[in-house]
A = this chain, B = another copy of it.
Amino acid sequence: MIEAAPINAVMRTLADPTRRAVFERVVKSEEITVLELTRGSDVTQGAISQHLKSLKQAGLVAERREGRNVFYRAEPKGLAPLVDWMSHYGVFWRQRFTNLRSLLKEIDP
């Protein structure tokens, strides 16, 4: 409602476990084809394509065509809305409580 569209899209897209798993595999791989994503998943190729379409529309992945293959890669700016949201409400969080800092310490620069 009050929130902007991007955070809506990112949150909704990453909420589904299967689709999030696809995104995680794309992130871990430099580039990965739909076929590779389909192997090692328990859903059909069509479902993978549908998830990739959602991820692409949310700005989380990008594609590169090469003949019959389509290589997907993570889109750097895609997680920006989520980071911004975390930053915003994380700050409020931090101001009221004192626990988030220890969590952030585990993140290596």
A binding-site residues for B, Cβ under 8 Å: 1-4, 8, 11-12, 14-15, 17-18, 20-21, 23-24, 27-28, 30, 42, 74, 76-77, 79-80, 82-84, 86-87, 89-101, 103-109
Number of copies: 2
* CB proximity of A20 to chain B, nearest CB, Å: 7
Q: Is the CB of A83 within 8 A of B100?
A: yes
Interface of A is mostly: helix
Q: Is the CB of A83 within 8 A of B98?
A: no
Interchain CB contact (< 8 A) of A21 among B2, B17, B77:
B2
A98 and B105 alpha carbons, distance in the complex (Å): 9
Interchain CB contact (< 8 A) of A108 among B20, B79, B90, B98:
B98
A79 and B11 alpha carbons, distance in the complex (Å): 14
A-B contact pairs, 22 of them (CB 8 A): A2-B21, A3-B21, A11-B11, A11-B15, A23-B89, A74-B92, A76-B100, A79-B89, A79-B100, A82-B90, A83-B104, A84-B103, A84-B106, A86-B100, A87-B100, A91-B104, A94-B109, A95-B107, A98-B107, A100-B104, A101-B104, A101-B108
